[in-house]
């Protein structure tokens, strides 16, 4: 099943709130997974 | 099937957005942390210790008496020459309490508390200094600072009263850390464990 790249703009336009939500969750997860390096 | 492909593409897009966010969040925090310098989070044990077992407050005199009892060996062995002296008397090996510390004479706020300086030793007693790092909250640097102040042994810390704690707190710029991390209580427990052993 090949990705139909032509439909990407449509998907982004249609689902941008969901994409933004997923990105936000990712930012939180990435932020919290950071551990300061021990000196 | 187009419907299935559509769902798959959307899911992949969401996954990509999530992963991008993860990387972005991590990178943002990394950059912020690097810009702020090395800011270490306090170990959870130090923060949790004061809440773990509330202790009944004891008077400084009772604590001092208990620590002296615990510090002394039960047998009739000769007392070590450089034993910590009670606050009222000064024996020869013990540094006189009123002796001004050259490093503090320049600070007028600390001159008043010179008599609250804990009993210090010129040098450790027989067997060398104790490992003060046994007390949670004391690391190698603080241990070295305490050695500089003439604090070499656990029982010395166990004999501190409130004024002594405040004095050492001021010397090491700790802002109440000795009390928060319960150094004296820990030292008393360690002294008691050592006496039982």
| Model pLDDT for residues A5-20, shown as the tens digit of each residue | 788 888 888 899 999 9
DSSP label at residue B121? B
The helix/strand/coil state of B92 is: coil
Q: What is the pLDDT of residue B25?
A: 94
Q: Identify the burial level of B192 via C-beta atoms within 10 angstroms of its C-beta, where 0-12 means exposed, 13-18 middle and 19 or more buried.
A: middle
Q: What is the pTM of this model?
A: 0.37
The answer for residues whose C-beta is within 8 angstroms of residue B130's C-beta and 6 or more apart is B124, B152, B153, B154
User: Which of A1, A19, A29 lies closest to B17 in CB terms?
Assistant: A19
The chain A residue lying nearest B39, using CA atoms, is: A36
Nearest CB neighbour to A22, from listed B17, B23, B28: B17
**pLDDT < 50 regions, chain B:** 38, 46-54, 56, 75-82, 84-112
What integer pLDDT is reported at residue A22 of this predicted model? Answer: 95
Q: What's the pLDDT at A26?
A: 95
Asked if A29 and B38 come within 8 Å (Cβ–Cβ), the reply is no
CA distances from B179 to B49, B76, B134, B166, B175 (A): 11, 34, 16, 9, 9
Q: What is the pLDDT of residue B72?
A: 54
Contact across the interface for B29 and A24, Cβ inside 8 Å: no
pLDDT of residue B103: 46
**Chain A: nearest CA to B24, how far in angstroms?**
6
Q: What is the pLDDT of residue B15?
A: 94
Chain A hits for B26, Cβ within 8 Å = 30-31, 33-34
How confident is the model at residue B62, as a pLDDT? Answer: 60
- Confirm if B82 and B125 have CB atoms less than 8 A apart: yes
Pick from B5, B14, B25: which is nearest to A27 by CB?
A: B25
């Amino acid at each position: 099943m090949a990705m139909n790249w032509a439909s990407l703009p449509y998907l982004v336009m249609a689902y941008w709130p969901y994409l933004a939500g997923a990105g936000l969750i990712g930012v939180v997860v990435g932020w919290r997974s950071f551990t300061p390096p021990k000196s | 099937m187009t419907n299935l492909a559509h769902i798959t593409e959307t899911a992949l897009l969401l996954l990509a957005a999530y992963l991008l966010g993860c990387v972005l969040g991590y990178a943002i925090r990394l950059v912020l942390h690097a810009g702020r310098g090395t800011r270490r989070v306090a170990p959870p044990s130090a923060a949790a210790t004061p809440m773990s077992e509330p202790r009944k407050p004891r008077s400084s005199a009772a604590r001092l008496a208990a620590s002296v009892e615990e510090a002394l060996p039960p047998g009739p062995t000769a007392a070590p020459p450089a034993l910590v002296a009670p606050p009222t008397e000064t024996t020869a090996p013990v540094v006189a309490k009123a002796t001004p510390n050259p490093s503090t004479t320049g600070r007028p706020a600390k001159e008043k508390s010179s008599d609250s300086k804990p009993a210090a030793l010129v040098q450790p007693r027989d067997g060398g200094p104790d490992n003060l790092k046994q007390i949670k909250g004391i690391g190698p640097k603080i241990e070295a600072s305490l050695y500089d102040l003439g604090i070499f042994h656990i029982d010395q810390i166990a004999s501190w009263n409130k004024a002594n704690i405040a004095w050492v707190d001021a010397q090491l710029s700790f802002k109440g850390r000795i009390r928060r991390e319960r150094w004296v209580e820990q030292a008393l427990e360690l002294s008691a464990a050592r006496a039982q052993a």
